[in-house]
Amino acid sequence: MLLVAVALSACQPAPQAAPAGATPAAEQSQPASGVAGNPARIIEDYLKARVEANTDAMINLSCADWEAEARKESNSLRGVKARLEGMICAIDAEASRADGSSAFVVCQGNIVANYNGEDRPLPLDKRKFKLVADGGQWLMCGYE
């Protein structure tokens, strides 16, 4: 039963093409700092939690300085039907620090929010996601 439960919770979508110039999440190796989690995967989880308005998950994936903003982002889509379309996130290797203390992730695709039957896309490629390594894991800590 344990294995079934873990397998169900680990269902992942098929990998897609990464943004140009970035390393796809599925192909990335772990940073040398030994920080758990893949930065691009963390941002993908963060965005999935955002469209689900899962505040707890977003806070767990955020650094202390970003928690208040994470709550606001979660509330912004509460009560609205939202989904992710064509989301692919990847590490921006050039911008990320070599010492593994911070990382930047770029994404493509959209958050599609439905307001009274009208879909409104919110593009994901306008900003870079900034992550910091804290407590042995990558955490979302803002935009650049």
Cβ-based nearer residue to other proteins, 4 or 20: 4
Site for other proteins in 26-45 (CB under 8 A): 36-38, 41
Least CB distance to other proteins at residue 45 (A): 9
**Which residue of 48, 52, 57, 95 would you call a contact of other proteins, by CB under 8 A?**
57
Tell me: does residue 16 bind other proteins (CB under 8 A): no
φ and ψ at residue 135, rounded to 5 degrees: 60, 30
Cα–Cα distance for residue pair 19/90, rounded to 1 Å? 7
Give Cα separations from 53 to 9, 29, 46, 48, 107 (angstroms).
19, 30, 10, 9, 19
Contact 109, 122 (CB under 8 A): no
Tell me: does residue 69 bind other proteins (CB under 8 A): no
Site for other proteins in 119-138 (CB under 8 A): 134-137
Cβ-based nearer residue to other proteins, 12 or 126: 12
**Which residue of 33, 48, 52, 71 would you call a contact of other proteins, by CB under 8 A?**
71
Enumerate binding residues for other proteins (CB under 8 A). Answer: 1-2, 4-6, 8-10, 12, 36-38, 41, 54-57, 59-61, 64-65, 67-68, 71, 134-137
